[in-house]
């Protein structure tokens, strides 16, 4: 795994703690749901929705940290026969990923803005809050790709 400065490592560690707390809270919410359903034959309507929102936030935000540490699944292809240096191929791959993520961010904008007028079914919170996890996560992945992923080791 690549080595980063202490400040960057602390930021990544803080994000990992945040996403771990999201997972813990999602687990507790579902545990509460199961307990109430089987012991008291009653369940809260909001626990499933809250768990779903926590997991969406967790996945999108932690994806940037996983990208920084090279933990995403990759396909290794032997491109040594190409006359292009490996560093340039890695730069091209990063550029394609940044363009794809930026396009995803741009094209999902209307979906996000629709969250201003929608509320969730059970918790009745603005859907912009759950949708924000996707935007924050994708923007974080773009920042990680541009500033932190080293070129010499590849993606």
The confidence score (pLDDT) of residue 4 equals 83
Residue 98 and residue 105: Cα distance in Å, rounded?
A: 10
pLDDT band for position 78 (50/70/90)?
confident
The domain segmentation of the chain, as residue ranges, is 6-147
Residue 112 and residue 109: Cα distance in Å, rounded?
A: 5
Q: CA-CA-CA-CA torsion for 116, 117, 123, 128, nearest 10 degrees?
A: -20
Structure letter (DSSP) for residue 41: S
- With pLDDT > 70 as the criterion, what percentage of the chain qualifies? 95
Q: Give the model confidence (pLDDT) of 21-49 as tens digits.
A: 999 999 999 999 999 999 999 999 999 99
Kindly tell me if the per-residue pLDDT of 77 is higher than 80: no
Do 125 and 47 form a contact (C-beta atoms < 8 A)? no
Mean pLDDT for 68-91 is 80
Count of C-beta atoms within a 10 Å radius of residue 147:
9
Mean pLDDT for 66-94 is 82
In 3D space, the residue among 120, 143, 110, 132 whose CA is nearest the CA of residue 56 turns out to be 132
Structure letter (DSSP) for residue 108: T
Both tokens of 130, joined, read: 């759950």
The confidence score (pLDDT) of residue 75 equals 66
Kindly tell me if the per-residue pLDDT of 103 is higher than 60: yes
The confidence score (pLDDT) of residue 155 equals 55
Mean pLDDT for 115-142 is 95
Q: How far is CA 49 from CA 54, 55, 65, 93, in A?
A: 9, 10, 25, 36
Q: CA-CA-CA-CA torsion for 14, 137, 153, 8, nearest 10 degrees?
A: -30
């Amino acid at each position: 795994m690549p080595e980063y400065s202490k400040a960057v490592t602390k930021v990544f560690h803080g994000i990992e703690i945040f996403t771990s707390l999201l997972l813990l809270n999602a687990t507790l919410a579902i545990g509460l749901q199961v307990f109430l359903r089987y012991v008291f034959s009653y369940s809260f309507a909001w626990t499933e929705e809250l768990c779903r929102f926590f997991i969406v936030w967790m996945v999108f935000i932690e994806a940037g940290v996983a990208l920084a540490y090279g933990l995403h699944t990759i396909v290794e292809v032997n491109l040594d026969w190409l006359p292009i240096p490996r560093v340039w191929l890695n730069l091209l791959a990063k550029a394609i990923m940044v363009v794809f993520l930026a396009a995803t961010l741009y094209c999902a904008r209307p979906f996000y803005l629709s969250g201003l007028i929608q509320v969730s079914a059970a918790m009745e919170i603005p859907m912009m809050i759950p949708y924000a996890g996707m935007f924050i996560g994708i923007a974080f992945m773009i920042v990680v790709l541009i500033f932190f992923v080293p070129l010499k080791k590849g993606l």
